[in-house]
Amino acid sequence: MEPLIQVRNLHYSYPDGTPALRGVNFELWPAETVAVLGANGSGKTTFLLHLLGLVGGKSEGDVTVRGLAVEKKNLTKIRRMIGMLFQDSDDQLFMPTVEEDVAFGPLNMGLAPAEVERRVRQSLRQVGMEHVGSRPPYHLSAGEKRRVALAGVLAMSPEMILLDEPSTFLDPPARSSLVEILRSLPQAQCLVTHDLTLARQLASRAVYFEKGEITLQGGVDDVIAQAGWEAPDGRRSGVLR
Amino acid sequence: MHPLAFERWSAGETRHHQLDARVKLLAALGLLLVIAWTGRSSAAAFGGYFLLLTSFLWAARIPLAGSLLRTFMVLPFVAGVVILNLWGGDPARAILTMARGMFSAYTAIALLSTTPFPALMRGLERLRVPPFLIMVLHFVYRYLFLLTNQAQDMLRARRCRAPEPRRRSRFWSASAGAVAILFARGYNRAERIHHAMLARGFESHFPVMHARQTPSADWWWLAGVLVLMAAIHVAARTWPL
């Protein structure tokens, strides 16, 4: 079996010369969920953006998605295979209505209008948001926005999903609802989070970023313990402080 | 002027709300042109335009007092010209300039309060307005709320730390700094939005989901309104006050 995503010795520096990624090696396998943990500024989001070819500037190393190198000529195919849920849903929801926003990806894929409408209905139903189709996205709550943003990703039928801090800004009910939806998805998922409970609920393994390097990997509990992220009194801490 | 009022009003379900956005855009454009052509000799036409617009708003069940009050928003923009006319000893021209400005605003209000923003954008699209211009309008409207909220948050934070600025110069330098930060945040957000668009296959073209046919009754409505406008204008010229 081939990994869906394979990263070998990836190095990247920001345009000002600050190193962001230093020799990252990573694999994502079908149907698994990997938690990507690490402190702020450790390179997690930059790493995710690399998988979609969204980072400008020069990088070294190999990044392949289903055997395709992440380079300009393959980006259209790669972006159809990978869906990404961004940290701030307001960055992701830019069309005038929810329906149009969810349809944005499928229309860009060149699908027929009937198929686009089918996918829009199906993905909104999948996240329980079929009743807001005609509403403007900016009037939705944070939880609703997150679910609509996820519908926009699902409408493209990706093979894998990258999630950047999906539980940020969500209240407990919205968070629980998101967990249920993410659990029900068959796609492989790469979950960047500080929310340890979420990592434990969804991921089967974890990697830990430190100053642009993956310094720990293994079971979620082991990585959390080795990273010293457990609460001092031995209780399982919910969110990293 | 709060844009939410227009959103609430434009969500109505009267016949006037249901008219095709293109038809309303063309009618508004026609009215703006005749307003611009209305001179001193045909000033009586303003009475006709007032009746036309007010009856439209009344039939669409839009609050008349609220609409009329909002026409005053145009005053700061025409104030300079009005003052210059008064200064030059031509009060009649000053009144005419103010009337043109306020009637143009009243026309825009009639359009915005009966046409939801998404429909308006689709109407512009179908009238072959350049997509880039529509995209800019669309993003300005979409992210105006977010930038306004951010500006309000920053203002609140500043008030918490400096309830009464001791020196006026310090107040202005702090405000200038806040504007610079807002600009930088806006720039960063624009970059994130662009990433989110690329991740869903955006290739510099906004796809359209629906392409609804315009009922012929809507075109007849437009023809009737244009004839009425022309009749008002001609009558005012023929029988000046």
Provide the residue-wise pLDDT of chain A in tens; the chain has 241 residues. 789 999 999 999 988 888 899 999 999 999 999 999 999 989 999 999 999 999 877 889 999 999 999 998 999 999 999 999 999 998 899 887 899 899 999 999 989 989 999 999 999 999 999 999 888 888 899 999 999 999 999 999 999 999 999 998 888 998 999 999 999 999 999 999 999 999 999 999 999 999 999 999 999 999 999 998 875 555 554 444 4
Closest CA to A70 of A82, A78, A81, A58: A78
Closest CA to A164 of A133, A123, A194: A194
- Please list every residue in chain B whose beta carbon sits closer than 8 Å to the beta carbon of residue A107: 207-209
| Structure confidence at residue A118 (pLDDT) | 96
CATH 3.40.50.2300 for the A5-227 domain, yes or no: no
Strand order in the sheet with A68-69: A19-28, A5-13, A59-65, A68-69
Return the percentage of chain B with pLDDT > 90, whole number. Answer: 36
Quote the tokens at residue B107: 């026309």
Q: Between B237 and A220, whose confidence is greater?
A: A220
List, in order, residues 6 or more apart from A195 with CB less than 8 Å away. A165, A167, A238, A239, A240
| Structure confidence at residue B136 (pLDDT) | 83
Q: What is the ipTM of this complex?
A: 0.85
- Please list every residue in chain B whose beta carbon sits closer than 8 Å to the beta carbon of residue A72: none
Chain A: give the shortest CA distance to residue B192, in Å.
6
Q: Contact, A74 vs A100, CB < 8 A?
A: no
List, in order, residues 6 or more apart from A35 with CB less than 8 Å away. A191, A193, A199, A202, A203, A205, A206, A207, A220, A223
Quote the tokens at residue B1: 């002027």
Q: Does B17 touch chain A (CB under 8 A)?
A: no
- Please list every residue in chain B whose beta carbon sits closer than 8 Å to the beta carbon of residue A97: 118
| Structure confidence at residue A240 (pLDDT) | 46
| Structure confidence at residue B165 (pLDDT) | 62
Question: Domain residues of chain B, as ranges?
Answer: 3-125+218-238, 130-199
Choose among A79, A94, A116: nearest Cβ to B199: A79
| Structure confidence at residue B212 (pLDDT) | 66
pTM, 2 dp: 0.73
The answer to whether the Cβ–Cβ distance between A54 and B195 falls below 8 Å is: yes
The answer to whether the Cβ–Cβ distance between B199 and A76 falls below 8 Å is: no
